[in-house]
Structure 1
Amino acid sequence: MGTQQRLDHYRLLDEIGRGSTAVVHLAVDAVGREVAVKELCPELAADPEARRRLAREMAAQGRVDSPYVAKLVDGRVAGERPYVVSQYVPGCPLSDLVPAYGPLGGSGVMRFARGLALAVAAVHDAGVVHRDVAPGNVMVLGERPTLIDFGIAHEAGAGQATRPGMVVGTPAYLAPEIIEGDPATRASDVFSWGATTAYAATGRPPFGRGSLHGICFRILRGQADLEGVPEPLAALLRHAMRRDPDARPTARWFAGALADWSRDITQRDRALVA
């Protein structure tokens, strides 16, 4: 891509992501700030439904305010090239980080887990369900996570076109009720938080790899592989991935439990030094 290509007042520097409906560019705005510009693919730019989805994405992301969630900067649904602009998040997707460098260990994975729980809690506090909390949508810098991509997010309680056999989201990290065709809820995001955190801790998808059928079968049977996840995190993840969504605590509850653990460790370390 030529460095002079522009989209309105954004100068597009490089392509940093591409999906079936959109391409994501690293760009700079009029004052030189780096941003991420997500533009609908040309063949979808005039599609009313694609524009409605982009508008819904902007509305959902714009409601969330958290240092652990990429902020909405700008966007335009009208015009020949519909796009949404988000804060540029440096780092690496968890889905790339773990294969390259291995799982997060020790206190690092606990800090990661709490940061991601705070991200999900902020989304829920804003009245939004993310619907795709997964390693590919979590940027990591150091051990600090940032949740990105509100492409399929919905307002909590909004109608969702789902049915058995229809998979919306990242299959290996979906809650069982989603696989069965029920609408996504805050509890579904909590399940996905647990599965994503398990991946960060072990380097393995908690319900294995292979065919979609096999993965979904293990999710529905509750056969999560948590071997190697340290306590007390493993116990928390078991709570997050309970089969019954009503039995899962909230994301805010998990963030608080992990904060309590962090304080205990800090106090213990200070006592040892003294």
Structure 2
Amino acid sequence: MGKHRRLGGYRLLDEIGRGSTAVVYLAMDPRGREVAVKELSPEVAGEPEAISRLAREMSAQARVRSEYVAGLIDGEITAERPYVVMQYVPGTPLNDLISAYGPLRGERLVRFARRLALALGDVHDAGVLHRDVAPGNVIVMGDRPTLIDFGIAHETGAEQITRRGMVVGTPAYLAPELIEGERATPASDVFSWASTVACAATGRPPFGRGSLHGVCFRILRGQADLDGVPEPLAGLLRTAFRRDPSGRPTARWLAGALAGALADGDRAATRRHGAPAA
């Protein structure tokens, strides 16, 4: 970037992400701590729709308190180049991690799935829908996921401005009702959680790759590829993939079931290897 630019009280260090309407920088706050700064691109910085979308993102993210969700720190919507400041999350996006090292295995996979369910439970408890749970929006450090990017999040009960026929989110991870133009609900996020966890477990999107039409067709038909996903995780994913949103469990329930699976695994390991020495 050449000489470091300042935005508000923040020194922008390196570009770490870029989308169609914003750029994300690694930055330093006035106390020398690393943060992430998301700044609207010059082309859209004066557009009311882009500014209102950023304001909704701030409002939604500000409500969520979770050790598994990147927290909102600051922001300025009325600046010449509106921006938000978020917790900087070290680690690797799940999709990059899988590409480089392959899928997650064993207890690491189950802990990852449980913690991502806890993140989603915290989002829903705050009255927020994330609407884009996908491998690109989960940063992983060890077996610890952090959910990022509330760019299309909505507060529960708020008017959803998505037009029928307009798909919002990462298509391969969307719930079928969203593809059909219905309203997003916590159950829609749960479906996307299951798609993301299935990808973490197998290294591939559960509804395949290829044309958008083909992927959406398989989602609508419920043709999830869970080959290689271990039980009991595979069974939990199947419940989260139910076609009827009312039949899917909540994120909190899934986190509890996965905690039970981890405890069962610990008990089985103890039986195999014998009780630890006193």
Instruction: For 1:44-193, list aligned pairs within 5 A.
Output: 44-193=44-193
Measure how far apart 1:267 and its partner are: 2.5
**Distance between the aligned counterparts of 2:234 and 2:66, measured in 1?**
26
Ranges in structure 2 where 5+ consecutive residues have no aligned partner: none
Amino acid at match of 1:35: V
Specify the alignment match of 1:222 in structure 2. Answer: 222
CA distance in 2, matches of 1:107, 1:178: 32
Matched, 1:273 2:278: no
Which stretch shows the higher mean deviation, 158-167 or 227-236? 158-167
Cα contact 1:13–1:25 (8 A) shared by 2: yes
Deviation, 1:104, is: 0.3
**Separation of aligned partners in 1, 2:152 and 2:162:** 12
CA distance in 2, matches of 1:130, 1:157: 13
User: C-alpha offsets along residues 57-82 of structure 1, whole Å, 9 cap, x if unaligned?
Assistant: 00100100111000101000002010
Deviations for 1:138-197, whole angstroms, at most 9, x for unmatched residues?
000011100000000001122213344311000000000000000111000000000000
Q: Secondary structure at the match of 2:61?
A: helix
Paired AA for residue 263 in structure 2: R
The normalised TM-score by structure 2 is 0.97
Which moved further from structure 2: 159-168 or 68-77? 159-168
Where do 5+ consecutive residues of structure 1 fail to align? none
| Cα distance in 2 between the residues matched to 1:257 and 1:203 | 23
Three-state SS of the structure 1 residue aligned to 2:15 is strand
Bigger shift: residues 158-167 or 212-221: 158-167
Q: Which residue of 1 aligns with 2:38?
A: 38
Distance 2:260 2:123 in 1: 22
Partners of 1:45 and 1:91 in 2: how far apart? 29
Q: Deviation of residue 245 (structure 1)?
A: 0.2
Q: Does the 8 Å CA contact 1:3/1:11 hold for their aligned counterparts?
A: no
CA distance in 2: counterparts of 1:124 and 1:88, whole angstroms: 22
Deviation at 1:261?
A: 1.0
What is the deviation of 1:3? Answer: 4.3
1:22 matched residue in structure 2: 22
1:268: how far off? 2.6
Which segment drifts farther, 160-169 or 180-189?
160-169
Are residue 263 (structure 1) and residue 250 (structure 2) matched? no
Query: What is the Cα-based RMSD across aligned positions, in Å?
Result: 0.9
1:262 positional shift: 1.0
Match of residue 199 from structure 1:
199
* Correspondence 1:233-252 to 2 at 5 A: 233-252=233-252
Find the aligned partners of 2:267 and 2:31 in 1 and give their Cα distance. Answer: 45
Q: Partners of 2:49 and 2:189 in 1: how far apart?
A: 25
Give me the whole-angstrom Cα distance separating, in 2, the residues matched to 1:162 and 1:54: 15
Secondary structure, in 3 states, of the residue corresponding to 1:44?
Answer: coil
Q: Distance in 2 between matches of 1:12 and 1:37?
A: 8
Aligned residues: 274
Distance 1:168 1:116 in 2: 21
TM-score, structure 1 as length reference: 0.98
